[in-house]
A and B are shown apart, each in its own frame.
Chain A
Amino acid sequence: MKTVVPVYINMAASVDAASLKEMNLASVIRNPNLLRRMCRLVRMGVAAGMMCLEDMDGEGLDAILTATSLGGLEDTGKFLAEITERSESGLNPTPFMRSVFNTVGSQIALLKGIKVYNMTYVHRGLSFESALFDAVLQIAEGKRSVLAGAFDEITPEAHILKERAGLFRHGEKEGEGASFFLIGNRPAGSRSVGLSGIDVRRGPLDESQKKEFAGDFLSGFGLDLSSVAVFNGARVKKSCGEYGTASARVLHEALASVHACSSEYLLVCNSFRNMSHSLILLKKTDAGL
């Protein structure tokens, strides 16, 4: 989809297991009561979201869009184990409450007191792309500023299941993390990057079909593969690992390289286990030139 109105990515933040340990969480999530009850995944997601909202009071935000491919696996596992171990009686509701997919979005809303549109997308390797797509729709509908982000976590159980499914035999590195973006209808400084369009495909594609997909997408902008720089998500995933919403992390890394690249446009390409594919077209802004 080509964006019909100008859309800008004005801020980005990522939190992974390593940075979660290093950061001063209490300075980012400034409600000790809420923070204490958050599990690791929720902490990663809420921290990344709050970092994007640092300079903002609750008034200026029009939507909170979140995405996760698998949600709170740790809490889901905990609650499932309790059901068996305690024979369905006297269960602690906390893991159940935290296992709900929209927890991160609603915790951000609670922390900031933001009473706006909230949406949570849970569509496998295209979860984050759905949230980004909604962000573009929001701006087209006249909204000024929306928060969009994604998060997923590794758990020991999920690791074993991936191993049994043979994913690591094919060279996949396991990953997790949260990445959030503040998206607006106007640039907010020299770090702002234009978001020109996004498109997705479901199902496997071979190399020539991937090229065709990119060519079709770019032709909508009067561009072709020779006129844009290409940012291959697979490169980032070598370090951050693979997970359903890794494309959010890829986008964050791509944003950092937009202004250094020779072309005006940067095409960000993602594939998730060759089950789904996405293309995001970024454009340098005047402010950043």
Chain B
Amino acid sequence: MTEILVTGLGAVSAIGNDVRENLASLRESRHGIGHVMHIRTALGYPAGEVKPDNASLKSMLGLPVTKTVSRTALLGLMAAAEALKDSSADISGTRTGLIAATSAGGMDLTEDFFPGFMADHSCGRLRDVAMHDCGASTDFIADKLGIKGFVTTISTACSSAGNAVMLGGRLIRQGLLDTVIVGGMDALCRFTLNGFNSLMILDSGHSRPMDASRSGLNLGEGAGFLVLQSERAAKKSPYCRLTGFSNVNEAFHQTGSSPDGEGAYMSMTAAMRDAGISPEEVDYINVHGTGTPQNDLSESVAIKRIFGDRPPMFSSVKPFIGHTLGASEGIEAVYSALSVSEGAVWPNLNFSEPIPETGLVPELSCRTGLEIRNVLSNSFGFGGNDSTLVFSRC
């Protein structure tokens, strides 16, 4: 079977505008959660915003400041372009693809358009809803990068980007593409802030994933993309390999996760089987770890079911960047690939006491110089969607 090599990485998040900055923040335990600056909202919740505003992002990307582009697309282009450049991939033919994930698409523009339009249907500029649909952001990136092959968009809530990485991996494995840019992007918006608030799962302070006292999540924004290539197409030595993946639906509840962690259990088990590794060969798990009581319990129970009382090192990076929804497994897949290539694991900030039901203790500080053979990276979404990726040493 064709190996899937990870040859390019790109990330923009609350802790950095590129991979180098993200890595430095992870190493120095510097989080990016704070007051919301870029959108108008009456809600006082903290969030993990990308620091540059839209005008700055456009100028960094060489776009005219007056051009109307959704923030989701701007963030996506930043990370996808960085990953592509990093990979030195030749994208001239039709065997290069782009698979992007998003949960909100151009909602950042739509929600500013909507109130005026509802008051008077002749109000508002149409260009502000032209990028509403999720595919618009992907097509924008594909056109800017000059992608000529397979292009699509995935939206399975918070597991969207994990599924984009998985689809890209399948296309390389089946020999249908040589190079594929995969990942996710989402801009923070009132729509999702209010959505998660209505579900009562936002923490009014800084989130505490995997901790006994956790009480909800912080939202974030950003984008993370990887370049996956076949051995034949790769032009540089890869960061790591993508060796396994899985996607299951636990068919338990529309928005909740099961207390026995069945979905997370099935997802991690199937991904390890796909990668041909045993639990003993897993050195680190980048957990979904949102900080909601239900998710973290469910995921911890699943980890104990698979690994027993001595699980591998694990941590949630969400206290650094927030839960970036459709982007989360894009950014976190970048961190997971770096974990393998750098021999490092990232700290789970804000932890003080284990969840009583499971007693699991995450990694509390950044550790380097490790031999990381295999990393599992989880993402779970509304609708019972559970995905796990496996990144392995070359």
Contacts and interface: CB of A to CB of B under 8 A. Distances in A.
Contacts of B262: 115
B384 A124 contact: no
A10 interface: no
Given A79-B195, A100-B382, A106-B384, A121 B152 contact: yes
B298 to A, nearest CB: 15
A120 B167 contact: no
Nearest to A1: B176
B126 A122 contact: no
A56 B167 CA distance: 27
A119 interface: yes
B42 A88 contact: yes
Contacts of B382: 97, 100, 102, 106
B260 to A, nearest CB: 13
B171 to A, nearest CB: 8
A87 B170 CA distance: 45
Contacts of B191: 76, 79-80, 83, 96
A115 B248 contact: yes
A105 B254 CA distance: 10
A113 B263 CA distance: 12
Interface stretch (A12-20, A159-167, A219-227, A260-268): A159-167
Interface in A122-179: 122-124, 126-127, 130, 133-134, 137, 140-141, 157, 160-161, 164-165
Interface in A94-118: 96-97, 99-103, 105-107, 109-110, 112-118
Contacts of A69: 133, 135
A96 B157 CA distance: 12
Tier of interface size on chain A: 35 or more
A84 interface: yes
A84 B115 contact: yes
A110 B190 CA distance: 29
A96 B195 contact: yes
A202 B254 contact: no
B292 interface: no
B134 A101 contact: yes
A92 interface: yes
Interface of A: 1, 64, 69-71, 76-77, 79-81, 83-84, 87-89, 91-93, 96-97, 99-103, 105-107, 109-110, 112-124, 126-127, 130, 133-134, 137, 140-141, 157, 160-161, 164-165, 202, 244
20 contacts: A71-B155, A88-B42, A88-B194, A89-B42, A96-B198, A97-B382, A101-B155, A102-B155, A105-B383, A109-B249, A115-B250, A115-B251, A115-B262, A116-B249, A118-B156, A120-B155, A122-B135, A123-B138, A127-B153, A134-B167
Given A70-B133, A115-B262, 9 more contacts: A92-B198, A110-B384, A118-B383, A119-B167, A122-B135, A124-B153, A126-B152, A127-B135, A157-B118
